[in-house]
Amino acid sequence: MQIKLAKNYGFCFGVKRAIKIAENAPGASTIGPLIHNNEEILRLKNNFNVHTLLDISEIENIKKAIIRTHGITKENLSDLKKRNIDIVDATCPFVTKPQKICEQMSKEGYNIVIFGDKNHPEVKGVKSYCVHDNVHVALDYSELEKVDLGQKTALVSQTTRKIDEFLKIVDFLAANCKEVRVFNTICNATFENQDAAKELAKEADIFIVIGGKNSSNTKQLYNIAKEFCKDSYLIENEKELNFSWFTGKQICGITAGASTPDWIIKKIIEKIREIKV
């Protein structure tokens, strides 16, 4: 069986930056998971004594706090600054961009539409920077059909969403609002990884997506792979591999989410190479 890696996969700029920041802050605690990869978070804990807090309510007796790549709400950041805590900001610059846009556009009187998952920490953080309550979070344009969007609307996106779904919302807003400001805040690494996964999935007869099951961008990669290769699987580590998946397969495609380190990818590839098909 031939094993092929997607042309683009794995760690993005923001995650690499956050990991380096955490490694240089031994003994610190992150407000929420630094990234959406349990294996890498465990490595940081074991090797650098970096602990993960569920949320800001657990901040008592902490000397150094790391803000996760997804960012935190404006209110939580303000609360942190009032405490005698050393704050290390590992928020991805691609996440701070929609935060600033929402703050500025809402100050200028625009209603805000955020394309994303309302329960995702990144989206919660971005939404908190709006200065008024005319903010609507949606994963599909149909969720906006009964919403009063007003005359002026600004649109941003969660950084890890799919571009084709974003464009559907753009079209809907253009048809229903007199003035629309569109800010494409989807990360370039997301584009590249998704395109590469799509191309390889068309060729493969089994496809392995490596990454955290709670990672938005990894789940997007899995959904894309599944669309073009029915035998697609999402795993976090080599222990989740099932050798029966590979029976009779000729080409195994592999990609990895933006929070997946190379050491996990290598271990999984080594395990797949042991499979006799």
Show which residues are catalytic: 122
User: For residue 75, which of 55, 104, 52 has the smallest C-alpha distance?
Assistant: 55
User: For residue 111, which of 95, 127, 92 has the smallest C-alpha distance?
Assistant: 127
Distance in angstroms (rounded) separating the CA atoms of residues 184 and 186 = 6
Spatial strand order of the sheet with 111-115 comes to 135-138, 111-115, 152-157, 179-182
Residue type, 243: F
**Tokens 């753009």 sit on residue:** 170
User: For residue 70, which of 122, 111, 123, 120 has the smallest C-alpha distance?
Assistant: 122
Largest CA distance in the chain: 62
Cβ-contact 266, 246 below 8 angstroms: no
Cβ-contact 107, 133 below 8 angstroms: no
Cα torsion angle, 211, 217, 222, 224, sign: negative
